[in-house]
């Protein structure tokens, strides 16, 4: 939450965020995150840990698979419906990781995604009228904490942007070429 990277996975060929989350990151977290409750030692809604990611990872199927593993997903809604009425929003004091408190206009509803999983949809209303839509499979965490966690994610993006621009962090990565099979599936960047 303070913007420091937890860990990084670098791949010569990017198979897509969902593939990396499920086949690399999730396996690592399941083995190494301390003090997680076991799958059968917990109440139904108590998560083992949370995955927080950008809208590239939006997938009702993925959220449902993670729910079965008691893993919370928190991301931006890739396909939000029309704006909600401003009358639904209330002002909340939201405590940031820095300890500062900011006021956010927030609203919450439940939503069924793809007919597969029930999620919380939380929206932040900006002064411009823009609504940022967050979805979460965490049914226990309060509204303000969920908003603070999701918006804290930006600090990591800012960290990497700053490190690229000022310290050439990309130059630290090996740019060697590798032979890969032509049948390797990759995500189209367009």
Segment 95-112, tens digit of pLDDT: 987 788 999 999 999 999
What confidence score (pLDDT) does residue 24 get? 85
d(CA 116, CA 144) in angstroms, rounded, equals 26
Sign for the pseudo-dihedral over CA of 43, 37, 65, 140: positive
pLDDT tier, 171 (very low <50, low <70, confident <90, very high otherwise): low
- Candidates 104, 85, 88, 105; CA nearest to 96 is 104
What confidence score (pLDDT) does residue 150 get? 87
| Distance linking the first and last C-alpha atoms of the chain | 30
> For 134-170, b where at least 16 C-beta lie within 10 A, e where not — what string?
bbbbbeebebbebbbbbbbbeebeeeeeeeeeeeeee
**Cβ neighbours of 74 (radius 10 Å):** 22
Q: Report CA-CA distances (Å) from 93 to 54, 64, 97, 129.
A: 24, 31, 13, 19
Q: With beta carbons less than 8 A apart as the criterion, state whether 94 and 147 touch.
A: yes
pLDDT at residue 85 tops 90: yes
The residue ranking higher by pLDDT, 155 or 4, is 155
Q: With beta carbons less than 8 A apart as the criterion, state whether 156 and 3 touch.
A: yes
Segment 126-138, tens digit of pLDDT: 999 999 999 999 9
pLDDT tier, 27 (very low <50, low <70, confident <90, very high otherwise): confident
What confidence score (pLDDT) does residue 13 get? 60
pLDDT at residue 38 tops 90: no
d(CA 52, CA 137) in angstroms, rounded, equals 11
pLDDT tier, 44 (very low <50, low <70, confident <90, very high otherwise): low
């Amino acid at each position: 939450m303070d913007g420091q990277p937890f860990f990084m996975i670098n791949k010569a060929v990017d198979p897509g965020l969902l593939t990396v989350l499920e086949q690399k990151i999730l396996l690592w977290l399941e083995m190494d995150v301390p003090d997680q409750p076991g799958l059968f030692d917990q109440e139904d809604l108590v998560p083992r840990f949370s995955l927080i990611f950008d809208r590239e990872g939006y997938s009702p199927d993925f959220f449902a698979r993670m729910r079965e593993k008691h893993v919370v997903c928190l991301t931006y809604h890739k396909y939000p419906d029309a704006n909600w009425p401003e009358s639904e929003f209330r002002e909340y004091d939201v405590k940031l990781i820095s300890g500062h408190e900011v006021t956010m206009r927030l609203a919450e509803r439940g939503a069924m995604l793809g007919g597969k999983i029930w999620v919380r949809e939380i929206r932040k209303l900006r002064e411009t009228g823009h609504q940022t839509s967050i979805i979460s499979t965490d049914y226990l965490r309060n509204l303000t904490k969920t908003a603070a966690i999701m918006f804290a994610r930006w600090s990591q993006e800012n960290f990497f942007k700053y490190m690229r621009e000022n310290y050439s962090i990309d130059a630290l990565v090996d740019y060697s070429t590798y032979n890969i099979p032509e049948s390797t599936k990759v995500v189209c960047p367009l």
